[in-house]
Amino acid sequence: MDAMLNISTLHYLVLGAALFLLGIIGVLTRRNVVIVLMSIELILNAVNLNLVAFSRYWQSIHGPNALHGQIFAIFVITDAAAEAAVGLGILIAFFRNKETVNVDEVNLLKW
């Protein structure tokens, strides 16, 4: 019980893993591209959660200014923004040409 109530880094890692798996399932099973993109965001967030949790762990060892994990999280968020912008751009271009948002209908290299 004590281990349950004493929130440690491991707790955050497990939560991150759960979100990561949800994201994986979403990416692999959904047809709607928008939801696939959102699942990717979910995966990135799971990673971010881990990074920030590691950052706190690292802080506990190397002092309060060892914030490398947080810096990485910020970079991942930057990445996510770029990914979302480009992904949605592709999605719009795709939708304009194919009039569908389903991934399994994107089975041509050109049309």
Contact positions with another protein (CB under 8 A) in 32-51: 32, 34-35, 37-39, 41-42, 45, 48-49
The secondary structure of 31-67 as a DSSP string is: -BHHHHHHHHHHHHHHHHHHHHHHHHHHHHHH-TT--
Residue with tokens 């991150």: 16
24 binds another protein (CB under 8 A): yes
User: Quick check: 52 binds another protein (CB under 8 A)?
Assistant: yes
Residue 106 binds another protein, judged by CB under 8 A: no
DSSP 88-108: HHHHHHHHHHHS--BGGG---
- Told to check if 64 binds another protein by CB under 8 A, we report yes
Q: How many CB atoms are located within 10 Å of the residue 12 CB?
A: 18
Q: C-beta of 108: minimal distance to another protein in Å?
A: 16
Task: Categorise residue 63: left if φ over 0, alpha if ψ from -120 to 50, beta otherwise.
Answer: left
Q: Is 103 in the site for another protein (CB under 8 A)?
A: yes
Determine if 104 is a binding residue for another protein (CB under 8 A): yes
Q: How far is the CB of 50 from another protein (least distance, A)?
A: 11
Q: List binders of another protein among 66-95 (CB under 8 A).
A: 67-68, 70-71, 73-75, 77-86, 88-93, 95
